[in-house]
Chains A and B, each alone.
Chain A
């Protein structure tokens, strides 16, 4: 599959125009064709949703792959007819808070697992892997029953509240994230924090002033992954947030298309783009880290 012969190709290119094109076609040309096909596959749903968002009629039946008109009516409808801003704020609240707190909690734990030796360390690490096999949403029945009880005592963290669902999300903070971070922490030379201790730094100072700045890439990746998965979380949120105003944007959009699919499609499309926007932005800024992180993860196995 390797085509490194291209490097020695210039000599052969000089033989003639026909062969030269032939060579280009067999070496690189077909690759461009393949990439155009893949890009078309990747793009057409995105194009369709943009076109539908701009479609003045705003129905599914009138939506085309190519935009046939441009209007902001759908956006106006979405803002006017639904509590869109509330939904959006809810989504961003969950995604941002969960990402930030999860990164902090799992970094703290990863630091202990990476740098300290204590009783139960090995059991703890294996335990994290095992509990990970039982994803939180599998316990959805129990979480539901548990919070119907909690809501009676503490309405502030019961159903339809932000803090309740956030607490549930944070239950999954120590997980495979901790493993990922521990792996990265292990690659930071121990001499760095040991010398800081010699200089009189406390363990907390070592953690906050020496470790955290050195492991920014993995913090960014974990933050990004948690952010994306929280924005897209549906199962727990749908059990928790029943009240219209408490919903996240994902649940809200589901409701918009559930009630009247064809007619609300334009509104839904605007919402879908806006829901993707934070992910796109975060993704764009952290792109460098993502490839790096996934790659190092992949290569280390």
Chain B
């Protein structure tokens, strides 16, 4: 930056700063071949340079902000990544060569971090048993098993306890701020105990302020009491710290102790031995009972196999898949037919009130679809819904399988046809009217002229749009979730519903079940990806979009 800024200092108006011409900027030079090393003239105006310095400075500040917490957490890999990204950005914007990269880097950075990385992460999660009880490593599971079974013993050390969180009091990770008898302060989390420096402690031993931690109020503690019950600080071989009430904690011995030699956990009270099963990621006893704390293991293709071959899951998976296809085909087909029919109806030269009709007909497209889905849900209400009122019936739309499916399709046709109408209108205008007329002069009926002349021409333009609409509806989460939440649920499998699409099914498995099944949900995502890619690649192949790419 410094170098390019200096040799451009005398040319604020954007003159090229090639060493030979910078000294004598002449804006009416005859055309010359592109400069070596770049397609464009180099270096920008003074304002451009200042903007560049400012943005790079801002970016550096962001990098520093990003490094600080990583440094405190000792995450050297993270620091390396941040430094690499900052370095890359510096290289790209200070170099005179990487011109295309200057334009691609901002978008590509976002794409890498928030799209490509999550996709890869989804794929790696899909071959694990990751779920609520299986989130961490085996070591974490062992320390959780031990510390959660900690009970008070005669020689237990007591601490004054302050309950705090890292960051947000409602969602941040819980920590114990502990004051021992000598007045020393410690901080304990699920990884263990460490010294806490610089905390403000009142006479009772309660911590009132500590850098980086938010002290919870009694109400906030109460809101997280469920989490607190399962919270313990491991303090080394078989010992741990648990809370006793809101202001005291004790260090005790674990009832359940892990023994490395047999890779098992023994319950010292009952004598039951739980042996580690490294394939299933949990400790099992002889009768098949297991400890709730498990760990994440690679299960290979098990998740995929489960919904393809396990009868209980496979039947609901295939019925959802079938309905998903029917739904996407039906909605795409119907919006196409209705949209095209409306476009054809208006496609006459002497029709009065065209603009008026157009505005009315396109209205659903201009409303917020999210709000309209919720509105349709209420219009289908059995007792008070306006649809039953108009029809004078009492149909339980969302209570029956086919009622719900018809309702979902109807609402989506209402929202979707105006788009097809707009597209079809445009496509019709591009087809010369003379073609249809010529066919009629040759003796074709209007229908024949449409069927054999207009429609084939129309389809050339409409096919890519139809493919895109199909792909959109295939994964149209809102269309189903906001109307029926996938229901009514099947009686034989309470996690799958009659109107569920694969994407709503995935969402329910991951976020709306008692135990979140991340691995299984991720496997479903990958399956959807495969299905949609096959469809898209086939259609792209036919559309020749890739071949014509310049």
Q: Which of A14-22, A72-80, A212-220, A227-235 contacts B (4 or more CB under 8 A)?
A: A227-235
Q: Which of B144-152, B153-161, B274-282, B361-369 contacts A (4 or more CB under 8 A)?
A: B361-369
B379 touches A42 (CB 8 A): no
Interface residues in A178-207 (C-beta closer than 8 Å to B):
178, 186, 197-207
Q: How far is the CB of B549 from chain A (nearest CB, A)?
A: 6
Contact code string A28-69 (vs B, CB < 8 Å = 1, else 0): 100110110011011111101100000000011101110000
A133 touches B27 (CB 8 A): no
B172 touches A257 (CB 8 A): no
Is there a chain A Cβ closer than 8 Å to B330's Cβ? no
Contact A1 to B344, CB < 8 A, known contacts A105-B106, A151-B167, A204-B48: yes
Per a CB cutoff under 8 Å, which of A32, A129, A171 touches B115?
A: A171
Contact code string A286-301 (vs B, CB < 8 Å = 1, else 0): 0000110011111101
B426 touches A298 (CB 8 A): yes
A155 touches B370 (CB 8 A): no
Is there a chain B Cβ closer than 8 Å to A25's Cβ? no
Contact code string B492-525 (vs A, CB < 8 Å = 1, else 0): 0000000000010011001100000010011001
In this complex, which of B66, B75, B102, B477 has the most chain A Cβ atoms within 10 angstroms of its Cβ? B477
Per a CB cutoff under 8 Å, which of A118, A139, A276 touches B119?
A: A139
B426 touches A291 (CB 8 A): yes
B44 closest partner in A (C-beta): A202
B478 touches A234 (CB 8 A): yes
How far, in whole Å, are A34 and B365 apart by their CA atoms in the complex? 19
Chain A residues, Cβ within 8 Å of B528 = 138
Contact code string B264-307 (vs A, CB < 8 Å = 1, else 0): 00000000000000000000000000000000000000000000
How far, in whole Å, are A158 and B166 apart by their CA atoms in the complex? 12
A295 touches B429 (CB 8 A): yes
Per a CB cutoff under 8 Å, which of A41, A146, A151, A261 touches B378?
A: A261
B349 touches A141 (CB 8 A): no
Per a CB cutoff under 8 Å, which of A4, A65, A109, A280 touches B367?
A: A280
Interface residues in B90-109 (C-beta closer than 8 Å to A):
99-100, 102-104, 106-108
How far, in whole Å, are A268 and B357 apart by their CA atoms in the complex? 28
Interface residues in B318-332 (C-beta closer than 8 Å to A):
none
Contact code string A266-280 (vs B, CB < 8 Å = 1, else 0): 001101110110011
Is there a chain A Cβ closer than 8 Å to B315's Cβ? no
How far, in whole Å, are A285 and B543 apart by their CA atoms in the complex? 33
How far, in whole Å, are A38 and B361 apart by their CA atoms in the complex? 7
Main secondary structure of the interface of B (DSSP, over half): helix
How far, in whole Å, are A158 and B511 apart by their CA atoms in the complex? 18
Chain B residues, Cβ within 8 Å of A64 = 386, 389
Per a CB cutoff under 8 Å, which of B172, B386, B529 touches A63?
A: B386
Contact code string B346-380 (vs A, CB < 8 Å = 1, else 0): 10111111000100111111111111101111110
Contact A295 to B423, CB < 8 A, known contacts A105-B106, A111-B103: yes
Per a CB cutoff under 8 Å, which of A48, A152, A296 touches B379?
A: A48
Chain B residues, Cβ within 8 Å of A154 = 66, 69
A254 touches B108 (CB 8 A): no
Chain A residues, Cβ within 8 Å of B166 = 152, 155
Contact A202 to B430, CB < 8 A, known contacts A142-B522, A272-B374: no
A201 closest partner in B (C-beta): B14
B368 touches A275 (CB 8 A): yes
Chain A residues, Cβ within 8 Å of B418 = 42
Q: How far is the CB of B528 from chain A (nearest CB, A)?
A: 6
B507 touches A2 (CB 8 A): no
Chain B residues, Cβ within 8 Å of A70 = none
B114 touches A136 (CB 8 A): yes
Is there a chain B Cβ closer than 8 Å to A84's Cβ? no
A202 touches B48 (CB 8 A): yes
Is there a chain B Cβ closer than 8 Å to A108's Cβ? yes
B422 touches A290 (CB 8 A): yes
How far, in whole Å, are A43 and B357 apart by their CA atoms in the complex? 11
Main secondary structure of the interface of A (DSSP, over half): helix
How far, in whole Å, are A138 and B532 apart by their CA atoms in the complex? 11
A-B contacts at CB below 8 angstroms, number: 369
Contact A124 to B525, CB < 8 A, known contacts A170-B114, A301-B461: no
A105 closest partner in B (C-beta): B107
B112 closest partner in A (C-beta): A171
Chain B residues, Cβ within 8 Å of A71 = none
Is there a chain A Cβ closer than 8 Å to B400's Cβ? no
B549 touches A105 (CB 8 A): no
Q: How far is the CB of A34 from chain B (nearest CB, A)?
A: 5
Interface residues in A85-107 (C-beta closer than 8 Å to B):
105-106
B511 closest partner in A (C-beta): A239
B371 closest partner in A (C-beta): A272
Q: How far is the CB of A236 from chain B (nearest CB, A)?
A: 10
A234 touches B481 (CB 8 A): yes
How far, in whole Å, are A186 and B425 apart by their CA atoms in the complex? 25
Per a CB cutoff under 8 Å, which of B15, B338, B345, B384 touches A262?
A: B384
Q: How far is the CB of B311 from chain A (nearest CB, A)?
A: 25
How far, in whole Å, are A109 and B105 apart by their CA atoms in the complex? 8
Per a CB cutoff under 8 Å, which of A31, A131, A142, A202 touches B121?
A: A142
A256 closest partner in B (C-beta): B374
Is there a chain A Cβ closer than 8 Å to B31's Cβ? yes
A231 touches B368 (CB 8 A): yes
Contact A108 to B104, CB < 8 A, known contacts A140-B510, A167-B114, A186-B550: yes
A198 closest partner in B (C-beta): B31
How far, in whole Å, are A48 and B384 apart by their CA atoms in the complex? 12
B26 closest partner in A (C-beta): A200
How far, in whole Å, are A84 and B334 apart by their CA atoms in the complex? 36
How far, in whole Å, are A262 and B521 apart by their CA atoms in the complex? 33
How far, in whole Å, are A197 and B478 apart by their CA atoms in the complex? 48
Chain B residues, Cβ within 8 Å of A197 = 34, 40-41
Is there a chain A Cβ closer than 8 Å to B116's Cβ? yes
How far, in whole Å, are A116 and B100 apart by their CA atoms in the complex? 7
A residues touching B (Cβ–Cβ < 8 Å)?
Answer: 1-7, 27-28, 31-32, 34-35, 38-39, 41-46, 48-49, 59-61, 63-65, 105-106, 108-109, 111-112, 116, 118, 121-122, 124-126, 129-131, 133-146, 151-155, 158-160, 167-168, 170-174, 178, 186, 197-207, 231-235, 239, 242-243, 250, 253-254, 257, 261-262, 265, 268-269, 271-273, 275-276, 279-280, 283-284, 290-291, 294-299, 301
Q: Jot down 7 A-B pairs with beta carbons below 8 A, ordered by A.
A: A34-B342, A138-B529, A142-B118, A171-B114, A171-B118, A243-B170, A253-B371
| 5 residue pairs, one from A and one from B, having the closest CB atoms | A171-B114, A295-B426, A155-B167, A2-B436, A272-B371
